[in-house]
Copies of this chain bind each other. A is one copy, B any other.
Amino acid sequence: MVLTLEKIRAAGERISGYAVKTPLLRLSAMDSFLGCRVYVKAECMQVTGSFKFRGAVNKALSLTPEQLGRGIVAVSSGNHARGISYAAKLLGAKVTVVMPLTATAIKVSNTKALGAEVIQCENQERFKVAERICAERGAVMVHPFNDEDIMAGQGTAGLEIAEQCPELDRLIIPISGGGLFSGVSTAVKALAPKVKVYAAEPSALPRYTVSVKAGTPTAVPSKKTVADALVSLIPGDKCFPCVAANADGIAAVDDEFILKGMKLLLAEGKVLCEPSSAIGIGAVLQGLIKVKPEDNVCFLISGGNVAFDQLSILDDVVI
């Protein structure tokens, strides 16, 4: 199966009325800091606070009543958890989410608040734990990225970007497992082939940098990063070919620059995002993606699930 524009459009029709069309903002106050004309796609303003709801509700709407009745099991650092828990709640299904111990407190509490059961374990164990629970309970696994319905759902953000920003030159997308990048890049490359599309991942977990070089999905060791939403250790095998085909570049960004990006977006752009979502801004600040003053550059801001008391991580960050 190959992800296509048609499948993404079908997802767009399926989830309309559930997910919202998020704003695409022109934030000129950031131009001088980044050296380009800055746009952001504000998925931090999506239902459940991140793009993950797009894929999750698309998947949930694709399940049969019998499947929904068996319950859903998901693996997530928090945003897919909240997305699938809300989608399942709308459709009357039970959810169990396996989250890494590194998940932030607000992501755990947001998920529990939707009635989901949360089980926490070491990051590298989470898929094994989820598969065991699925087998024990006969539940349906909803993978956070390596699933065509999920990828197509995330791609609906790309349909909107192409429509909302016809002047776009470059698009920078956070990447972890690869579901968001696969969907969005497929939509944008089909609708606006001249746009350069880049992936940005934490330098602590450079699974796509390593895998694209190796030509095959390759695992990296688990390491700490401020990008709590970007902790996948290996590309999804369904996502990898899309990323390898569509990425005009992959930036491995240091935590220091991720935090600078987050502070810049907040202080000058007036938009609050979670650390992971600022990674594209960090990539430009670190000089990993070259831009020119006349370039129209859109940063996909993937989520805003960050607690007020987490903002102290920005206290000593200098933009």
Contact of A271 among B263, B271, B314 (CB under 8 A): B271
Contact flags (1/0) for A16-48 with B, using CB distance below 8 Å? 000010010111110000000000001011010
Q: Tell which of A26, A45, A273, A307 has the most Cβ of chain B within 10 Å.
A: A45
- How many identical chains are in the complex? 2
A267 near B: Cβ within 8 Å?
yes
Q: Report chain B residues within 8 Å CB of A26.
A: 20
Interface of chain A residues 227 through 284 with chain B (CB within 8 A):
263, 266-267, 269-273
Task: Give Cα distance in the complex from A47 to B47, angstroms.
Answer: 29
Q: Report chain B residues within 8 Å CB of A311.
A: 311
Does B45 lie within 8 Å of A304, measured CB to CB? no
Count residues on chain A whose CB falls below 8 Å from chain B CBs.
27
A49 near B: Cβ within 8 Å?
yes
Beyond A270-B271, A311-B311, is A49–B29 a contact (Cβ under 8 Å)? yes
| Closest B residue, CB atoms, query A308 | B267
Task: With both chains docked as a complex, state the minimum distance between the C-beta of A301 and any C-beta of chain B, in angstroms.
Answer: 9
Q: Report chain B residues within 8 Å CB of A45.
A: 25, 27, 29, 269-270
> What are 23 A-to-B residue pairs whose CB atoms are below 8 Å?
A20-B26, A23-B23, A23-B25, A25-B45, A28-B47, A29-B47, A42-B270, A44-B270, A45-B269, A45-B270, A49-B270, A263-B308, A267-B272, A267-B307, A267-B308, A270-B272, A270-B273, A270-B304, A271-B271, A271-B272, A272-B272, A308-B315, A311-B311
Binding site for B on A (CB under 8 A): 20, 23, 25-29, 42, 44-45, 47, 49, 263, 266-267, 269-273, 304, 307-309, 311, 314-315
